A and B are shown apart, each in its own frame.
Chain A
């Protein structure tokens, strides 16, 4: 596995693991550790397997703990007295950058597995029988399934962008550190959220880090800036973010200037005729010039603006690229023309549709559409997981059933007895008798008898064992032709064990049944 071509990103010496000195390697796809003086790794984790890393602060020992998806954890102790802290932080920072990249991949795989299990009850049962009872390992179980399915689902798995939480800034509540300082905890997710929501900050970051500022300094300044504290008015101090505020302001303005597409929310064209200047009882609107506003009022309206801007940006970041398809026609004109007869030609379609939507009373119309059947759920868990069917079945949808019922209804309605070919009553009754249960033509009763004799739970268990054995056989046959040493080992080594285990399991079940009978 340890191919030579692997790129080593960081090497930290004098790292202890299980009280043994060694060297920690951070590579492109995995983190590994080997004891001193030996050239193989005793610990090796793919980044994709790592759920989180914890670096407890304030302990006497300087440690880095990795928690895996499986729940296991590994501790590394940095023991080089002089540089321990620096070493740990270096490793930590690198991990912080690397992990998110793999996290998505890992999550996707997990999600995929989860989805398959949920969608396919038979597979789920198999999984329970084979993996949970440790007949074969999870990896083996998935090995030849995922690849098959990946092809099918690749289309639907087109990476869906995750939206941004509107409250991501709230998540970085500062904590006081006891002295006179504040601590902000930033994660890579939050940083990404900030960048996606405020491209201006991203730009500043690109411009300044790492040439002028370190990453830490950059964020420190960010949190100190007037920009982050949106109630403060930027006073044009030496603040690299004051430009961002201006850019935001510009962005907001351009959004406003663009206008709205939906004419029903366009407040500017709401009123047909505003009163002429000078008329009206309170046309003396409070002057909006900032000159005679108090500082407090200014800061209040700044907050309000920022909230609107923030929400709009979050929304835009979530919508991705598809949002930029301006509807030229819609923005073209929003006022009606005077003559209603011509208006068909002039009304932009969006507007017409919106207005028609607004005046539509759907319930006043006779229903023409398909009648839908309301789903009445008595046991919702049965609905979401489904009864565990033993064999894959061809389901008929409710629409199919309704259609076929309709079909039959129609046929019966149109049924005309063909009077010339009618049977005599005695032949008819004998035919009915022959077709009734127990009749001449219905002698398949013996099979039914077994079905009824064996209790359903026993049947179920037997079928589980059967499918589990079938799965093992499938593994067995998939080893042929044996053309790699790995397959040979699988065949001779643990497949045999597995068969043995499956057999034991069956045997145990058999004895249990026997015991129960007697």
Chain B
């Protein structure tokens, strides 16, 4: 159908439309009009991607000078492939309706082996790729720096974007890294010697270039041709490479000294935590290395590798890591912390020193993106509470909205189980998680649900170790044997290949009617990337609140930073983080309006307003007072009732309510209703 979104003709490749899709497009268009950033939360399965694509493509066609490019970032390969497929569908519709051969060029990049700087990337109208191509400075510099300013950037499934940012800027250095770097340095040295004999002019040419400084890059950045790179600070661009590392030999010598210093730092017996300035002070006192040459390290190494014409850069990953670390630590005095641990907490007898250079401020990595591109859209099914993302990513959105799911039948049923039938509170709280009664009650819940839920059940635990322990005690108590009478059991393991197999078998068991249970872990790969549509997930059970492991020093440092810099209280952040993962887990089961599923929150703490309030609105609004703090029996009763209702044939009475024709969409009354779907924050 063809839509009129506030004066913009949008081709939408379906005969009907969900009201929330219309609302979503409306908000999106307003964001693009304002040339600002947006945060939009809409449940998965309501056709978010196609709405985004339809509107932005239409916008690009209508205003080719205002928006030149769409950069669509998603998280996983299947997600990217889905986007490409939807785009294809849209393009087919265009050529069918408009009757014209579309001259749109869309480009999808994925997988390292295909990573190439395609000349077409500059000309493509739409680029689909993974987050890293834009957020990871190492790749962004290769792939994305030439992308035009007038682009719209979309981060889909963006609920974890802060962690992606942090990961791309954090560095860990072990003894092994240092040893490999040492080897790298030696290879460099011998290559330099060789080249000196055969082609000394090349090195001289490089030297001359470095004296000139990185003028070219600077000009490019100032004239806005390139996106800035957080690993390439402005100062570096404006100055020449310092004399102490300008010749190749000097630089190699410098790196050797730096490596020796790091080796010495790793020889410790107790944990050290320090800031970047402290580290710089120490290095200058101990080995007389200044801040300035350190800052040029990454760029200098790149230049050297280029000059020596080294083909396989992957071999030099260790020394590249070290040089990146050197540049980062000397560039950012805020937002990073250095933690040196002599051993793992769990194994204090085995020396395994690690230097964590850990980024605490996700805004550092994403800042160039917000600065460069005129509109950045952050969207996902679960972004609640919406206001926290602009704060931790440090940007000012023009639109912040959450959309509900219009439903002809209530196809999701969130329930909070707080007690066992013996009235013992059910919780994964640290103090009681080893409690026999709690584990038994969790087991009973699973057993009861396995008897009444058809086909597939997915259960999530708060951590892998917790799951291992519970599975072991359930096994000892004979609970799992009883569960097996109803369904087959599959369990996630740390091994991805093993888990993939378990997943496929799980689906097979759901498919052939035997029914199965998948025990899995929040924050794990399954919870982040696998959908359990229809009978693959008729119920999701979330055992406990998936708080992150709070004893880690890195997390503590990050919490401190959030408190000092963004005035976000530790508890607020931890709860936010736990709830977004819980929402991700339970949201796996509902993948559309024809789907249905139970969402069982098995922890009494979910009943509290501070937890409940952080769930996405589309889940929250179905969580009534009557479904809080239930016992197992009550849960079973409510679930039975729900499942019986859902098992009735889904009558096609969606039309006019949660599914609209063009005429219905245009009625005044409906437009008013639609205005209420978007919940502005």
Residue in A276, A287, A314 whose Cβ sees the most chain B Cβ within 10 Å: A276
CB <8 Å contact, A270 and B317? no
CB <8 Å contact, A231 and B488? no
Per-residue interface assignment for chain B, residues 469 to 512, with 1 indicating a CB less than 8 Å from any chain A CB and 0 otherwise = 10110011010111011011111011111111111110111001
Does residue B651 face the partner (Cβ distance < 8 Å to A)? Answer: yes
Q: What is the bound-complex CA distance between A474 and B88, given in angstroms?
A: 70
B674 smallest CB distance to A (angstroms): 16
CB <8 Å contact, A170 and B484? yes
CB <8 Å contact, A338 and B488? no
Chain B residue nearest in CB terms to A170:
B481
Per-residue interface assignment for chain A, residues 158 to 184, with 1 indicating a CB less than 8 Å from any chain B CB and 0 otherwise = 000001011101100100000000000
Instruction: Using known A-B contacts A279-B170, A338-B111, determine if residue A343 contacts B501 with beta carbons closer than 8 Å.
Output: no
Q: What is the bound-complex CA distance between A271 and B80, given in angstroms?
A: 10
- Which residues does chain B contribute within 8 Å of A358, judged by CB atoms? 78, 82, 531, 533
Chain A residue nearest in CB terms to B139:
A273
CB <8 Å contact, B482 and A270? no
Per-residue interface assignment for chain A, residues 259 to 270, with 1 indicating a CB less than 8 Å from any chain B CB and 0 otherwise = 111111111111
Question: Among the listed B15, B321, B504, which residue makes an inter-chain contact with A276, where contact means beta carbons less than 8 Å apart?
Answer: B321
Q: Which of B70-117 contact A (CB under 8 A)?
A: 76-78, 80-82, 84-86, 88-89, 106-116
CB <8 Å contact, A278 and B171? yes
Instruction: Using known A-B contacts A267-B503, A270-B529, A315-B514, determine if residue A283 contacts B172 with beta carbons closer than 8 Å.
Output: yes
Per-residue interface assignment for chain B, residues 583 to 595, with 1 indicating a CB less than 8 Å from any chain A CB and 0 otherwise = 0000000001110
Does residue A147 face the partner (Cβ distance < 8 Å to B)? Answer: no
CB <8 Å contact, B504 and A167? no
CB <8 Å contact, A300 and B468? yes
Instruction: Using known A-B contacts A272-B80, A356-B85, determine if residue A288 contacts B494 with beta carbons closer than 8 Å.
Output: yes
B243 smallest CB distance to A (angstroms): 30
Interface segment, one of A32-40, A302-310, A390-398, A510-518: A302-310
B456 smallest CB distance to A (angstroms): 13
B650 smallest CB distance to A (angstroms): 9
Chain B residue nearest in CB terms to A356:
B85
CB <8 Å contact, A273 and B85? no
Per-residue interface assignment for chain B, residues 13 to 37, with 1 indicating a CB less than 8 Å from any chain A CB and 0 otherwise = 0111110000000000000000000
Q: What is the bound-complex CA distance between A276 and B112, given in angstroms?
A: 11
Q: What is the bound-complex CA distance between A355 and B81, given in angstroms?
A: 7
Q: Which of B493-543 contact A (CB under 8 A)?
A: 493-505, 507-509, 512, 514, 516, 525-526, 529-531, 533
- Which residues does chain B contribute within 8 Å of A259, judged by CB atoms? 497, 500-501
CB <8 Å contact, A340 and B654? no
- Which residues does chain A contribute within 8 Å of B118, judged by CB atoms? 338-339
- Which residues does chain B contribute within 8 Å of A351, judged by CB atoms? 81
CB <8 Å contact, A272 and B505? no
Per-residue interface assignment for chain A, residues 290 to 309, with 1 indicating a CB less than 8 Å from any chain B CB and 0 otherwise = 00100011011101110110
- Which residues does chain A contribute within 8 Å of B116, judged by CB atoms? 338
Q: What is the bound-complex CA distance between A104 and B110, given in angstroms?
A: 56
Q: What is the bound-complex CA distance between A328 and B271, given in angstroms?
A: 52
Q: What is the bound-complex CA distance between A52 and B600, given in angstroms?
A: 44
- Which residues does chain B contribute within 8 Å of A280, judged by CB atoms? 167, 170, 172
- Which residues does chain A contribute within 8 Å of B347, judged by CB atoms? 287, 292
CB <8 Å contact, A336 and B317? no
CB <8 Å contact, B107 and A335? no
- Which residues does chain A contribute within 8 Å of B49, judged by CB atoms? 359
Q: What is the bound-complex CA distance between A312 and B493, given in angstroms?
A: 15
Per-residue interface assignment for chain A, residues 416 to 457, with 1 indicating a CB less than 8 Å from any chain B CB and 0 otherwise = 000000000000000000000000000000000000000000
CB <8 Å contact, B167 and A311? no
CB <8 Å contact, B110 and A272? yes
CB <8 Å contact, B501 and A256? yes
CB <8 Å contact, B168 and A311? no
- Which residues does chain B contribute within 8 Å of A367, judged by CB atoms? 652
Does residue B238 face the partner (Cβ distance < 8 Å to A)? Answer: no
How many chain B residues sit at the interface, stated as a range, is 35 or more
- Which residues does chain A contribute within 8 Å of B232, judged by CB atoms? none
CB <8 Å contact, A336 and B507? no
CB <8 Å contact, B501 and A264? no
Instruction: Using known A-B contacts A273-B112, A335-B110, determine if residue A267 contacts B82 with beta carbons closer than 8 Å.
Output: no
- Which residues does chain B contribute within 8 Å of A231, judged by CB atoms? 472, 475-476
Contacts between the two chains (Cβ within 8 Å), count = 268
Q: Which of B126-148 contact A (CB under 8 A)?
A: 128-130, 132-133, 136, 138-139
Does residue B383 face the partner (Cβ distance < 8 Å to A)? Answer: no
Chain B residue nearest in CB terms to A354:
B78
Instruction: Using known A-B contacts A256-B498, A374-B649, determine if residue A267 contacts B529 with beta carbons closer than 8 Å.
Output: yes
Q: What is the bound-complex CA distance between A170 and B516, given in angstroms?
A: 17
CB <8 Å contact, B172 and A363? no
Q: What is the bound-complex CA distance between A275 and B499, given in angstroms?
A: 21
Does residue B163 face the partner (Cβ distance < 8 Å to A)? Answer: yes
B529 smallest CB distance to A (angstroms): 5
A14 smallest CB distance to B (angstroms): 44
Q: Which of B327-348 contact A (CB under 8 A)?
A: 344, 346-347
CB <8 Å contact, A265 and B15? no
Q: What is the bound-complex CA distance between A358 and B350, given in angstroms?
A: 47
Does residue B47 face the partner (Cβ distance < 8 Å to A)? Answer: yes
Does residue A83 face the partner (Cβ distance < 8 Å to B)? Answer: no
Question: Among the listed B77, B85, B512, B592, which residue makes an inter-chain contact with A269, where contact means beta carbons less than 8 Å apart?
Answer: B77
Does residue B10 face the partner (Cβ distance < 8 Å to A)? Answer: no
Does residue B416 face the partner (Cβ distance < 8 Å to A)? Answer: no
A334 smallest CB distance to B (angstroms): 8
Question: Among the listed A173, A255, A263, A305, which residue makes an inter-chain contact with B78, where contact means beta carbons less than 8 Å apart?
Answer: A263
Q: Which of B607-621 contact A (CB under 8 A)?
A: none
Does residue B227 face the partner (Cβ distance < 8 Å to A)? Answer: no
CB <8 Å contact, A336 and B110? yes
Q: What is the bound-complex CA distance between A269 and B168, given in angstroms?
A: 19
- Which residues does chain B contribute within 8 Å of A335, judged by CB atoms? 77, 110-111, 113-114
- Which residues does chain A contribute within 8 Å of B129, judged by CB atoms? 272
CB <8 Å contact, B497 and A304? no
B137 smallest CB distance to A (angstroms): 10
Chain B residue nearest in CB terms to A336:
B110
- Which residues does chain A contribute within 8 Å of B481, judged by CB atoms? 167, 169-170
Does residue A216 face the partner (Cβ distance < 8 Å to B)? Answer: no
- Which residues does chain B contribute within 8 Å of A297, judged by CB atoms? 468
CB <8 Å contact, A265 and B554? no
Chain A residue nearest in CB terms to B467:
A304
CB <8 Å contact, B504 and A300? no
- Which residues does chain A contribute within 8 Å of B189, judged by CB atoms? none
- Which residues does chain A contribute within 8 Å of B439, judged by CB atoms? none
Does residue A365 face the partner (Cβ distance < 8 Å to B)? Answer: yes
CB <8 Å contact, A276 and B108? no
Chain B residue nearest in CB terms to A374:
B649
Residue in B89, B111, B525 whose Cβ sees the most chain A Cβ within 10 Å: B111
Having A259-B500, A270-B529, A343-B108, one finds 7 other A-B pairs with CB under 8 Å, namely A267-B499, A308-B490, A311-B509, A318-B514, A339-B107, A340-B84, A359-B85
Q: Can you name 26 A-B residue pairings with CB atoms under 8 Å?
A: A167-B481, A167-B482, A256-B497, A258-B501, A259-B501, A265-B507, A268-B497, A268-B500, A272-B110, A279-B172, A280-B167, A281-B167, A281-B356, A292-B347, A300-B471, A307-B489, A311-B488, A311-B490, A312-B501, A314-B488, A335-B113, A338-B110, A338-B111, A343-B108, A351-B81, A374-B649
Top 6 nearest A-B pairs (CB, nearest first) are A170-B481, A338-B114, A272-B130, A167-B484, A364-B14, A366-B15
Interface residues of B (CB under 8 A from A): 14-18, 47, 49-50, 76-78, 80-82, 84-86, 88-89, 106-116, 118, 128-130, 132-133, 136, 138-139, 163, 166-168, 170-174, 177, 317-318, 321, 344, 346-347, 350, 352, 354, 356, 358-359, 468-469, 471-472, 475-476, 478, 480-482, 484-485, 487-491, 493-505, 507-509, 512, 514, 516, 525-526, 529-531, 533, 552, 554, 592-594, 649, 651-652, 654, 659
Interface residues of A (CB under 8 A from B): 163, 165-167, 169-170, 173, 231, 252, 255-273, 275-284, 286-288, 292, 296-297, 299-301, 303-305, 307-308, 311-312, 314-315, 318-319, 335-340, 343, 351, 355-356, 358-359, 361-367, 374
